[in-house]
């Protein structure tokens, strides 16, 4: 510690190497060569790099080639007044300190110089200890100004980071995040890492795990890819005076897929089993890795969490003297990035790893400090939180979809149970009715027909015909009920579909001709189904009768195969009749539901039951232009399915 004393003043001085920044010097400007050289020799002896100038012009030339920290400037110069030179110095280099020298101790002149930008004032001749005191005090004040400026810049950066992270936290805490919102947040984080108000890194790359979790793939990048592009981008930012929010807004409305830096990041595609790759190692081991050049040769990664770097020569030396782990860096990665100094920071949550952020200073070559890596990790934690929220949101949507599917399945099962209970009760009732009523009804109808043949009395014939007709209706109802509840004894076989449909059509041919109905038939002869022929005939007979009865004034009955695939055939029966109201369609297959004046209401219920018994599906709908469409899907015969699969 050096103590300099001048009169009653006492000052604890800092050594010269702490007062000047690297490459800085002092300049003594005086037209008297003896004074100038004497002061220069003295200052050099004190450890200060010092230059000499005899005029204002020489001073400006020195300032053009040297980094000047302090100027001892004489007021009386041969070419210009020292105060005029002072104004030029302040304008050209406001960070340079100036101490004015004068042969006359004039307080008014000293105050004018201070107002023009001088830091202090010395009257010639001044003792060396006085010069030393003023020089060191002025440099210390200058150093404090620089440190205070840097401190405020650090505070502004910290405030900026806190503000950005605060807004991102609000965004992530107010709602779950969709994929689009997460990409916006990740983009904002990368901009925060590279923005002027942020960490000021030149470039930031984001690589994410693929959906199957087996590869690390490039996702997004911010920054220039070369110095020329960097100059253009930074010039545009300066001209438009773009801030962080402005950059975010401009990026939101701009497609970046074709930018050079995104073309670079899209080439990131690394299998997760490449454990030696530093990107994969940082991801799996969840640690930040800083890659540095070793004396200009091959770069060597350094685990930042092992402690600060003190000696870098083939590895990083810890405080205990042991060597850090030295990892190999893929040449392909260096060539892809074009940089040998970068940092890899992992993105992860307690549940899983997501990806990595890679940052570098390719353009300006600024060093990457441990404090900067800590700041990146702060942004990376927010990125990880955003991704975790997005995954939770997607998982929640999947769970909701699964619950909705389960609810629909439960509702369907409930409906099936209700229908099953209803059909079971109906079957029990129908079985009892069939056995208890069928024989008496048959007897009543038979006796009525016999009596009708034995009398010619018109009055008696009228009553007997009513008995015969209504008995026939009851017999038909009993037959339908019997067919509905009787599913045992079905014999399945390989049935030619076209032949069965043609034979069934013969049963309604008389009604078709009577009503003037045109039949269009489109079923190939080489389609075979696995079915019980009698039950299948009953099913299509009900469909044909319904269609014919709906076209009392004529129309078109179409019977065709809509498609044959997946081992099934779809048969469509379509008519152009009067149709059915929408409210009636959904109840058409309910037992005993009918819109006809005469009928049992069991026809479509029986069709649906027979289709289900054949592992088929029956559907019924109205056509917008009028008429109904019935569709039956049945399984193909086994040999036909095998043949279709082979072909």
3-class SS at 49? coil
Question: Residue 573: enclosing H or E segment and its boundaries?
Answer: strand 568-574
Q: Are 383 and 185 in contact (CB under 8 A)?
A: yes
pLDDT of residue 558: 92
d(CA 569, CA 266): 48
pLDDT of residue 114: 85
In which residue are the tokens 């072909």 written? Answer: 647
What CATH number belongs to 396-485? 1.10.287
Terminal-to-terminal C-alpha distance of the chain: 99
For 470, how many CA atoms within 13 A lie in the half-sphere containing its CB?
A: 8
Residue 255: both structure tokens together? 């497609």
Residue 303: both structure tokens together? 């685990």
Q: Are 359 and 203 in contact (CB under 8 A)?
A: yes
d(CA 314, CA 338): 22
User: Which residues does the chain have with pLDDT short of 50?
Assistant: 1-12, 175-176, 230, 255, 295-323, 583-585, 587, 590, 592-594, 596-602
- Which among 249, 182, 273 is positioned nearest to 219, based on CA atoms? 182
Question: Residue 52: enclosing H or E segment and its boundaries?
Answer: strand 50-53
pLDDT of residue 234: 54
Q: Are 55 and 78 in contact (CB under 8 A)?
A: yes
- Which among 256, 264, 231, 246 is positioned nearest to 195, based on CA atoms? 246
Q: Are 337 and 265 in contact (CB under 8 A)?
A: no
Fold classification of 2-149 is Rossmann fold (3.40.50)
pLDDT of residue 160: 65
pLDDT of residue 541: 86
3-class SS at 302? strand
The yes-or-no answer to whether 158-383 and 493-646 have a common fold is: no
H-state helical runs in 175-301: 179-194, 227-240, 244-252, 260-265, 278-285
Of 1.10.10.10, 3.10.129.10, 3.40.50.450, 3.30.450.40, the CATH number of 158-383 is 3.30.450.40
Q: Are 74 and 80 in contact (CB under 8 A)?
A: no
Pairing of strands 67-74, 24-29: parallel
- Which among 570, 579, 516 is positioned nearest to 547, based on CA atoms? 579
pLDDT of residue 582: 57
* Domain spans, the chain: 2-149, 158-383, 396-485, 493-646
Question: Residue 121: enclosing H or E segment and its boundaries?
Answer: strand 120-123
What's this model's pTM, rounded to 2 decimal places?
0.46
Quote the DSSP letter at residue 47: T
- Which among 37, 95, 36, 101 is positioned nearest to 70, based on CA atoms? 95
d(CA 420, CA 220): 57
**Alpha-carbon dihedral angle through residues 201, 203, 209, 211, given to the nearest 10 degrees:** 130
For 234, how many CA atoms within 13 A lie in the half-sphere containing its CB?
A: 19
CATH 3.30.565.10 is held by the domain 493-646 = yes
Using a 10 angstrom Cβ sphere, with 0-12 exposed, 13-18 middle and 19 or more buried, the burial of residue 186 is buried
Task: Report cis status (omega within 30 of 0) of the bond before 603.
Answer: no
d(CA 132, CA 134): 6
């Amino acid at each position: 510690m050096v103590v300099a004393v001048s009169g009653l003043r006492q000052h604890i001085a800092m050594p010269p190497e702490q007062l000047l920044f690297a490459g800085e010097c002092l300049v003594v400007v005086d037209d008297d060569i003896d004074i100038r050289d004497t002061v220069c020799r003295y200052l050099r002896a004190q450890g200060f790099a010092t230059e000499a100038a005899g005029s204002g012009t020489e001073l400006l030339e020195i300032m053009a080639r040297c980094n000047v920290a302090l100027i001892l400037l004489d007021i009386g110069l041969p070419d210009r007044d020292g105060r005029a030179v002072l104004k030029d110095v302040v304008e050209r280099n406001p960070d340079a300190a100036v101490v004015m020298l004068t042969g006359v101790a004039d307080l008014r002149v000293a105050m004018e110089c201070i107002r023009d930008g001088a830091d202090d004032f010395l009257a010639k001749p001044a003792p060396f200890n006085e010069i030393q005191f003023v020089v060191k005090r002025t440099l210390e004040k200058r150093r404090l100004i620089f440190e205070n400026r840097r401190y405020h810049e650090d505070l502004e950066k910290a405030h900026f980071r806190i503000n950005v992270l605060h807004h991102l936290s609000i965004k992530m805490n107010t709602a779950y995040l969709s994929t689009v919102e997460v990409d916006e947040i990740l983009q904002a984080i990368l901009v925060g890492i590279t923005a002027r108000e942020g960490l000021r890194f030149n470039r930031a790359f984001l690589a994410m795990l693929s959906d199957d979790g087996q590869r690390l793939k490039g996702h997004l990048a911010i920054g220039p890819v070369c110095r020329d592009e960097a100059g253009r981008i930074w010039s545009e930012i300066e001209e438009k005076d773009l801030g962080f929010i402005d950059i975010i807004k401009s990026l939101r409305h701009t497609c970046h897929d074709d930018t050079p830096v995104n073309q670079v990041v899209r080439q990131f595609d690394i299998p997760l089993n490449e454990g030696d790759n530093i990107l994969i190692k940082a991801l799996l081991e969840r640690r930040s890795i800083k890659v540095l050049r070793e004396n200009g040769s091959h770069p060597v990664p350094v685990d930042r969490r092992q402690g600060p770097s003190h000696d870098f020569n083939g590895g990083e030396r810890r405080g205990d003297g042991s060597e850090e782990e030295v990892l190999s860096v893929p040449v392909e990665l260096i060539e892809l990035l074009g940089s040998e100094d970068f940092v890899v920071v992992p993105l992860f949550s307690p549940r899983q790893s997501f990806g990595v952020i890679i940052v570098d200073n390719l353009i300006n070559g600024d060093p990457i400090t441990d404090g900067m890596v800590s700041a990146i990790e702060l942004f990376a934690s927010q990125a990880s939180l955003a991704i975790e929220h997005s995954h939770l949101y997607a998982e929640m949507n999947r769970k909701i979809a699964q619950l909705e599917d389960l609810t629909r399945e439960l509702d369907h099962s409930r409906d099936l149970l209700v229908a099953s209970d209803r059909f079971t009760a109906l079957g029990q009732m129908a079985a009892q009715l069939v056995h208890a009523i069928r024989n008496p009804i048959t007897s009543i109808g038979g006796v009525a027909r016999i009596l009708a043949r034995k009398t010619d009395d018109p009055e008696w014939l009228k009553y007997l015909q009513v008995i015969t007709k209504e008995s026939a209706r009851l017999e038909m109802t009993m037959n339908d009920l019997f067919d509905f509840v009787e599913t045992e004894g079905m014999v399945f076989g390989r049935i030619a579909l076209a032949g069965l449909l043609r034979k069934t059509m013969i049963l309604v041919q008389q009604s078709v001709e009577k009503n003037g109905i045109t039949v269009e038939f489109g079923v190939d002869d080489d389609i075979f189904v696995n079915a019980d022929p009698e039950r299948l005939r009953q099913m299509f007979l009900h469909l044909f009768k319904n269609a014919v009865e709906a076209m009392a004034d004529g129309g078109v009955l179409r019977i065709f195969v809509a498609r044959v695939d997946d081992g099934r055939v779809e048969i469509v029966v379509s008519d152009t009749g009067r149709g059915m109201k929408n409210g009636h369609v959904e109840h058409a297959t309910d037992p005993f539901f009918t819109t006809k004046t005469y009928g049992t209401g069991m026809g479509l219920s029986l069709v649906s039951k027979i289709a289900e018994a054949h592992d088929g599906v029956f559907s019924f709908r109205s056509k917008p232009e009028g008429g109904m469409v019935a569709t039956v899907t049945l399984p193909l015969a086994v040999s036909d399915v095998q043949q279709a699969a082979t072909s």
